[in-house]
């Protein structure tokens, strides 16, 4: 039961985070939220909530709270809280909605919406939402699949394949230790097992596996020795670097390939979106009348006003 108590406390915090989204879908009543939910809850959880659409579960001073309201709040929770089955937290969600409605009604009774602080905050939020909606709308219009694919073709046009090597190594502290390991390999020892037993490098537990790498990604002494080897060979003499003495085995060689469109899509979308926004802002600014009122401009404006006032005074005299 203690774990359930801790879950309940965590859920309260999550529900508080959800209030912003929840309130953002309102236009004054809880029952206006009935349009978004059953399908989303099933989609997110993979299970049916088995509820009656619009079923009234509670009233607060006559205001109805329905099952659809609960589903909407549930769908707006962070993913980690939606892992809990809907029916498991349904009662807690209902209590949270009751609390929210009580607070909402109290705020309305005290005319909180008429206060200047509230109106200022509301105007700020409205402006921010309008800006975000405008940008999103423009991104949907301008950042098309066709444009992304054009940018992809440009990005891979100059791609040059580069040889990369899949290798393993055994790192030892002294040359003698490295020679001893080479002797064990000469006697038929298994490279991976010897790496696990003797290597002092972080790849030791993985059999010395370094994965694929290009020549420039390793220190020169190591890369030169490794790339000069044939696949399947291991070094017959220790390779000294700043890290110690290496015994290297070449596992495979291949040429790098250009990343696929799917692999690059997210990166390209971010780059193209940023460029589109910059261009859009430049166009909007070019069409706008923008005056920067720097101190120097303020002084010029003040001097001009003073001169105009003096001229008018002279005319009247």
Whether residue 216 sits in one domain with residue 268:
no
Cα atoms in the Cβ-side hemisphere of radius 13 Å centred on 143:
23
**How wide is the angle at C-alpha 305 spanned by C-alphas 303 and 306, nearest 5°?**
65
Whether residue 274 sits in one domain with residue 152:
yes
Task: Please report which confidence band the pLDDT of residue 258 belongs to, taking 50, 70 and 90 as the band edges.
Answer: very high
Regarding predicted confidence, which is higher, 316 or 218? Answer: 218
Whether residue 270 sits in one domain with residue 200:
no
Residue 300 has pLDDT above 80, yes or no: no
Task: Please report which confidence band the pLDDT of residue 5 belongs to, taking 50, 70 and 90 as the band edges.
Answer: very low
Collapsing DSSP states into helix, strand and coil, what is residue 79?
helix
For the whole model, what pTM was predicted? 0.52
d(CA 294, CA 301): 10
Whether residue 175 sits in one domain with residue 213:
yes
Q: Which of 9-13, 16-20, 60-64, 216-220 has the lowest mean pLDDT?
A: 16-20
Q: Which of 35-39, 231-235, 271-275 has the lowest mean pLDDT?
A: 35-39
In a domain, 316, yes or no: no
Helices (H), the chain: 2-24, 38-45, 67-75, 79-82, 86-109, 116-142, 145-157, 175-186, 191-198, 220-227, 261-287, 295-316
d(CA 239, CA 247): 7
In a domain, 241, yes or no: yes
Q: What is the pLDDT of residue 284?
A: 94
Q: Residue 244: which CATH number?
A: 3.10.50.40
Question: Percent of the chain having pLDDT more than 90?
Answer: 68
Residue 305 has pLDDT above 80, yes or no: no
Domain that holds residue 241: 163-255
Q: What is the pLDDT of residue 28?
A: 43
Whether residue 214 sits in one domain with residue 148:
no
What would the mean pLDDT of 234-253 be, rounded to a whole number?
A: 97
d(CA 3, CA 237): 59
Crossing angle of helices 67-75/2-24, nearest 10°? 100
Q: What is the pLDDT of residue 314?
A: 55
What would the mean pLDDT of 46-69 be, rounded to a whole number?
A: 78
Whether residue 182 sits in one domain with residue 69:
no
Whether residue 152 sits in one domain with residue 201:
no
Q: What is the pLDDT of residue 226?
A: 97
Q: 3-state secondary structure string, 259-286?
A: CCHHHHHHHHHHHHHHHHHHHHHHHHHH
Q: What is the pLDDT of residue 83?
A: 82
CA distances from 164 to 88, 123, 201, 204, 304 (A): 53, 57, 21, 21, 71
Residue 206 has pLDDT above 50, yes or no: yes
Q: What is the pLDDT of residue 303?
A: 62
- 215 in Cβ contact with 176 (< 8 Å): no
d(CA 249, CA 208): 9
Report the mean per-residue pLDDT for the chain.
83
């Amino acid at each position: 039961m203690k774990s359930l108590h801790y879950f309940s406390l965590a859920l309260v915090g999550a529900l508080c985070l959800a209030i912003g989204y929840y309130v953002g879908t309102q236009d004054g009543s809880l029952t206006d939220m009935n349009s978004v939910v059953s399908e989303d809850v099933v989609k997110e959880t993979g299970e049916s909530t088995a509820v009656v659409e619009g079923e009234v579960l509670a009233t607060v001073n006559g205001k109805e709270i329905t099952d659809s309201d609960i589903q909407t709040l549930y769908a707006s929770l962070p993913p980690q809280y939606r892992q809990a089955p809907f029916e498991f937290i349904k009662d807690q969600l209902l209590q949270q909605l009751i609390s929210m409605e009580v607070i909402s009604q109290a705020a309305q009774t005290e005319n909180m919406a008429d206060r200047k602080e509230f109106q200022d905050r509301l105007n700020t939020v409205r402006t921010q939402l309008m800006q975000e909606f405008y940008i999103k709308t423009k991104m949907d219009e301008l950042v098309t699949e066709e444009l992304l694919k054009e940018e992809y073709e440009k990005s891979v046009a100059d791609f040059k394949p580069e040889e990369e090597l899949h290798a393993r190594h055994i790192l030892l502290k002294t040359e003698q230790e490295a020679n001893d390991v080479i002797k064990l390999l000469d006697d038929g020892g298994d490279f991976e097992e010897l790496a696990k037993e003797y290597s002092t490098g972080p790849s030791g537990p993985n059999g010395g596996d370094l994965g694929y790498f290009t020549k420039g990604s390793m220190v020169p002494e190591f890369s030169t020795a490794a790339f000069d080897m044939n696949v399947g060979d291991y070094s017959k003499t220790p390779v000294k670097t700043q890290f110690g003495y290496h015994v290297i085995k070449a596992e495979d060689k291949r040429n790098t390939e250009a990343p696929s469109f799917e692999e690059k899509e997210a990166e390209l979308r971010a780059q193209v979106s940023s460029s589109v926004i910059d261009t859009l802002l430049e166009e909007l600014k070019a069409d706008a009348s923008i005056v920067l009122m720097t101190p120097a401009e303020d002084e010029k404006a003040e001097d001009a006003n003073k001169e105009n006032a003096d001229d008018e005074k002279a005319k009247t005299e």
